[in-house]
Chain A
Amino acid sequence: MNSPVEHKPSNVEFSDVVTHDSGRKTMTLNMGPQHPSTHGVLRLVLELDGETVVSCRPEIGYLHTGIEKTLESKLYYKALPMTDRMDYMSPMSNNLGYCLAVEKLLDIEDAIPARAKWIRVLMSELTRINSHLVWLGTHAIDLGAMSMFLYTFRDRETLLDIYELVSGQRMMSSYFRIGGLMMDVPKDFDKSIRRILKNLPDRIDEYEDLLTNNRIWQMRTIGVAKISAENAIDGGLTGASLRGSGVKYDVRKAFPYSDYDKFDFQVPVGVHGDVFSRYQVRVYEMRESLKIMGQALDGLPEGPYIAHVPGVILPPKPDVLSKMESLIYHFKIITDGFKVPRGSVYVPIESGKGEIGFYIDSDGTNVPNRVRVRPPSFVNLSALPKMVEGSLVSDVVAAIGSIDIVLGEIDR
């Protein structure tokens, strides 16, 4: 075989059968990148003794998109749609993280109108539910409960309708803008959200009926792929994967952003750190997100939807058509972007998967010098080997489902 790249890891040999010093023989099994339950193109090299996993090593890079690198050559406002494509289950959370980071660099945080902040919160929570619904469906299908997948996707459809309503796009919405929003929410927004707030709790009850008290579901998840709070913290885990182990850390509470401190919600925490705990945490999170959405909708302030910062934020369209300065600003921003003061920021937010942070380093020009994303999926994936060692192949599938990874975010 004449392959240009010799792909050889350092610690595990890629031979079929490994004979250990103790005389024990193990089989190396390649799981993925084309495998129905690795949630994309994750590849795991499993060392098996019978069906027991001796070691597990995740291999990533099969979905390499180079998004971080691409961002370095894009104007700040043009980089935004790229962020949708990382964690494609929660595009709005990614948008929010990026926008907050750029706004912090520009120091225009105080100029963001309250309405924009609240709609951002509302849409972020909608996105969290969206992300969790996809997780629930795929997690259930991994464990063999096939119908759940279609139930959750049926409900996700109504959420995607909201995306379409506000932005015209169902998946890659790019609805948030640096300084605010793309446009104000349309007339039907209130009605549509209220319909979701009315229907979804019953549906979540339905899911719980099917899974939470199901003996087989409990057998498959309780005590499986455990990780202790210390190990979870050491591994840098965030999101439900961390909270499932009993650590109460949520960026929305710890470092409130975008007016999250004005909302009343609970951060659910698990006890055992197993698949079931993580499952319960996420299901509760969906309910809490609905609560936040309700509060945001009830108290939605009136006012502009985007900040007024000449030279950075596009002027309103009527002004562009009637005022010379606005026309010039519009032209300048579209063609040349805007310059961002020298400096670097790190802004974390809580997305559906965990803490997603944007580190942006600016050298004072109109493109970022370096954008580095702290992807929750990537960090959470690093805990997988610890979780599955000593368990069975079936548990590997359960564990992958429970840490809720998305490969688009891992291979940015």
Chain B
Amino acid sequence: MLDFLFGQLVATHATFDVVTLSDRTTQALAEDPWLAAGYALLGLAGVGGFLSLLGMALIYVERKVAAHFQCRLGPMRVGWHGMLQSVADAIKLLLKEDIIPDRADRVLFLIAPVFSIIATTLGLILIPMSPSLQVVDLNIGVIFISAVSSFGVLGILLAGWSSNNKWSLLGAMRAGAQFISYEISVTLSLLVVTLFAGSLQLSEIVQSQQDGWWIWRGHIVGLVAFFVFLIASTAELNRPPFDLPEAESELTGGFHTEYSGLRFSFFFLAEFINMFIASALAATLFLGGWMPFHIGGLHTFNGLMDLIPPGLWFAGKTTFIIFLIMWVRWTFPRLRVDQLMRLEWKFLLPVGFINLFAAATLVITKLYFFPW
């Protein structure tokens, strides 16, 4: 059981065997179909449960973090220190009347939130949380994640269009332009790590960092790619200072102005889970994912670090990045739509391209740290 949570650990020279849930299902299929069905069910229920629980937990954390940044306590009444506030909110959202505006395009209005949540779920199943806690490990993992995350914008565009509300339309218009632009920078920095690791598969990218994380193995290139990824993915997450598509103080809610109840909560949930995915991805690509802190060659030190289970490493790194994103949100003002575009096309994009070339040079010359 411990093995399932923490991965198989070889203390002398750390190598981790990656076993995903889909692997387990395929293996079991030959021997025991029931076990296979059990694994498949575990995967499904796990993702569904994780999605909603993580969503509620992140919302709680966001509220608490915001509160403490703003010298207040945040939710305190429901449960110990307001722990159950998210549950109460979820129940409220479930029970709320599902309002569809008269003049809305009904079909599109109804399916838009589903698009958003599906894109999010598809992204979630690929995240390697520990050597044995990963649902699917596609060999095109990075490309897949970047593809499904662009799928989410479709939901937002549809929501804005079908609401038949000018504010929603403005929000959707901004969202379309913003997401498509920042997608490029995200992909460019993903490519840097792909070059370093020589693989698109997320588990292999993690394995490739067992002599050191890419953020510092790749000299400044890794660091730059990390920051470009962080900025661009914050923009893709639609979070302040890039929250223009909803921009409460300008567009009164943007694309989800007309949504309420469960459908609104789908957008809300998707947004928070996307934050987790982006943080987990940043942790996986640049901070070694579940890989403990290793320095190439120092076996004793690495062995000591291996004593901390990979799952905890992953959780710690992801939490740190989530906190960074929240910190930024509660500190900075919002950008304007033209400044947002300028930042992407005139700054992040050239930096991303130059960085990619630098990365290619590093890889060809094997100039990064610990190339063995």
Contacts and interface: CB of A to CB of B under 8 A. Distances in A.
Contacts of B335: 216, 219-220
A150 B68 CA distance: 11
Contacts of A140: 333
B139 interface: no
B72 interface: yes
B334 interface: yes
B69 A147 contact: yes
Interface string B306-344: 000000000000000000000000111111111100000
B248 interface: yes
B211 to A, nearest CB: 37
Interface residues of A, number: 30
Contact of A144 (B166, B247, B252): B247
A154 B248 CA distance: 22
Given A144-B243, A147-B331, A392 B249 contact: no
Given A147-B69, A154-B71, A210 B331 contact: yes
A392 B334 CA distance: 14
A214 B331 CA distance: 10
A35 B241 CA distance: 20
A214 B333 contact: yes
Nearest to A396: B250
Contacts of B244: 394
Contacts of A150: 70-72
B333 A143 contact: yes
Nearest to A141: B249
Contact of B333 (A27, A35, A217): A217
A397 interface: yes
B332 A145 contact: yes
A261 interface: no
Nearest to A395: B336
Nearest to A219: B339
Contacts of B173: 51
B336 A219 contact: yes
Nearest to B334: A144
Interface in B240-280: 240-241, 243-244, 247-252
A216 B249 contact: no
A54 interface: no
B110 interface: no
A216 B250 contact: no
B83 interface: no
Interface in A148-163: 150-151, 154
A408 B306 CA distance: 65
Nearest to A142: B249
Contacts of A151: 70-71
A141 to B, nearest CB: 6
A211 interface: yes
A35 B166 contact: no
Contacts of B248: 36
Given A143-B334, A214-B333, A37 B71 contact: no
Interface in B164-219: 166-167, 170, 173-174
Contacts of B247: 144, 394
Contacts of B167: 29
Interface string B64-85: 0010011110000000000000
Contacts of A146: 66, 70, 240, 330
Contact of A51 (B170, B243, B252, B333): B170
Nearest to B339: A219
A145 B248 CA distance: 12
Contact of A35 (B66, B170, B252, B336): B252
Interface string B223-250: 0000000000000000011011001111
A393 interface: yes
B337 A216 contact: no
Interface string B104-139: 000000000000000000000000000000000000
B166 A27 contact: yes
Contacts of A29: 166-167, 170
Given A51-B170, A141-B249, A147-B70, A394 B337 contact: yes
B333 A37 contact: no
Interface in A87-143: 140-143
B354 to A, nearest CB: 22
Contact of B337 (A143, A211, A392): A392
A51 B337 contact: yes
Contacts of B70: 146-147, 150-151
Interface in A192-220: 210-211, 214, 216-217, 219-220
Interface in B38-73: 66, 69-72
A36 B241 CA distance: 18
Given A144-B241, A154-B71, A216-B241, A36 B332 contact: no
A216 B170 contact: no
A228 to B, nearest CB: 22
A393 B170 contact: yes
B225 to A, nearest CB: 22
Contacts of B241: 144, 216
A145 B249 CA distance: 10
Contacts of A141: 249
B72 A144 contact: no
B249 A36 contact: yes
Nearest to B69: A147
Nearest to A50: B173
Given A29-B166, A144-B240, A36 B334 contact: no
Interface centre among B166, B333, B337 (most CB of A within 10 A): B333
A145 B66 CA distance: 12
25 contacts: A29-B170, A37-B249, A142-B249, A143-B249, A143-B333, A143-B334, A144-B240, A144-B333, A145-B331, A145-B332, A145-B334, A146-B66, A146-B240, A146-B330, A150-B71, A151-B70, A210-B331, A214-B333, A216-B335, A219-B339, A220-B336, A392-B336, A393-B250, A394-B250, A394-B336
Give the top 8 A-B pairs by smallest Cβ distance, nearest first.
A144-B334, A150-B70, A145-B333, A143-B333, A37-B249, A144-B333, A394-B336, A142-B249
Given A143-B333, A392-B337, 17 more contacts: A29-B167, A29-B170, A35-B252, A142-B250, A146-B66, A150-B72, A151-B71, A214-B333, A216-B241, A216-B334, A216-B335, A219-B339, A220-B334, A220-B339, A394-B250, A395-B336, A397-B250
